[in-house]
């Protein structure tokens, strides 16, 4: 096995609790503004639009790469209308979109990442754009060494360009890089391109709608309880 020199992390769901963060944010914001709406349904519906919006980018390369902030902004207005959430201004929709920049970490994330950083290069490898990931790191105290994003490579995961581009930009072989994720499909793609893999379960990522990723479904290099457990197993 090649010596692992860098750890790349899926972020939404693996490092931060996007669902609870957004629901709490929007609920408090709506109350303060006197706006009524099913904010839980909005968050769940918004996340459901995440993959289809990226698929559209893949289907139409002639249109150029579109960052996640712009995709999220395009998705939110029709979704709010569908859910009967009215009275929102353009500035309100901008606020909701920027909610993805201030997601809170899971309880083990900051401590685990800080330990792992002592021995390895650590970076996100996320479909979030660079500004989003940078602002999130400032908000949540995530101690990244650098920020790698689909935006850097002009390709969303699970495209090979994202995984192999991350190894290349670090000056490493794929086998010297490990992806850490709570999603088996992300790990499957990374493994197919030669990266090492570590699965960390986040059993409440989707709340009551969680229907997958309760356990490791592949032959991953590491299966851990949380990021502190990964730090233990990697000798940090």
Q: What is the pLDDT of residues 72-121, one digit of tens each?
A: 999 999 999 999 998 899 999 999 999 999 999 999 999 999 999 999 99
* Most confidently predicted of 10-24, 31-45, 58-72: 10-24
How far, in Å, CA of 158 to CA of 43, rounded? 23
The single-letter DSSP state of residue 4 is P
Confidence band of 7 (pLDDT split at 50, 70, 90): very high
- The yes or no reply on domain 19-101 and CATH 3.30.70.3450 is no
232, 209 contact by CB (below 8 A) = no
Q: What are phi and psi of 17, to 5 degrees?
A: -95, 80
Question: Could you write out the three-class secondary structure of 193-234?
Answer: CCCEEEECCCCCCCHHHCCCCCCCCCCCCEECCCHHHHHHHC
Q: What are phi and psi of 68, to 5 degrees?
A: -65, -40
Assigned architecture for domain 6-17+105-234: 3-Layer(aba) Sandwich (3.40)
> Could you report the per-residue pLDDT of 126-177, keeping only the tens digit for each?
999 999 999 999 999 999 999 999 999 999 999 999 999 999 999 999 999 9
Whole-number average pLDDT of the chain: 95
Q: Is the pLDDT assigned to residue 10 strictly greater than 80?
A: yes
pLDDT number for residue 137: 98
Residue with tokens 């290069």: 121
Q: Could you state, in order of their start, the residue ranges of all structural domains in the chain?
A: 6-17+105-234, 19-101
């Amino acid at each position: 096995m090649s010596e692992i020199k860098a750890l790349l992390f899926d972020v939404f769901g693996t490092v931060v609790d996007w669902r609870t963060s957004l629901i709490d944010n929007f609920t408090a914001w709506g109350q303060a503004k006197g706006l009524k709406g099913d904010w839980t349904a909005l968050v769940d519906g918004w996340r459901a639009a995440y993959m289809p919006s990226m698929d559209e980018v893949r289907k139409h390369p002639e249109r150029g790469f579109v960052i996640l902030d712009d995709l999220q902004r395009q998705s939110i207005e029709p979704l709010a209308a569908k859910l009967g959430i009215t009275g929102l201004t353009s500035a309100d929709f901008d606020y909701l979109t920027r909610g993805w920049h201030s997601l809170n970490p899971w309880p083990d994330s900051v401590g685990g990442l800080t330990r792992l950083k002592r021995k390895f290069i650590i970076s996100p490898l996320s479909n979030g754009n660079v500004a989003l990931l940078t602002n999130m790191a400032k908000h949540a105290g995530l101690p990244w060494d650098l920020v790698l994003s689909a935006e850097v490579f002009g390709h969303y995961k699970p495209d090979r360009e994202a995984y192999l581009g991350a190894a290349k930009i670090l000056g490493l072989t794929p086998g010297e890089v490990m992806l850490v994720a709570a999603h088996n499909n992300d790990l499957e793609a990374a493994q197919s391109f030669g990266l090492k893999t570590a699965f960390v379960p986040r059993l409440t990522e989707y709340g009551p709608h969680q229907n997958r990723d309760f356990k490791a479904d592949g032959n991953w290099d590491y299966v851990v309880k949380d990021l502190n457990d990964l730090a233990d197993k990697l000798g940090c």
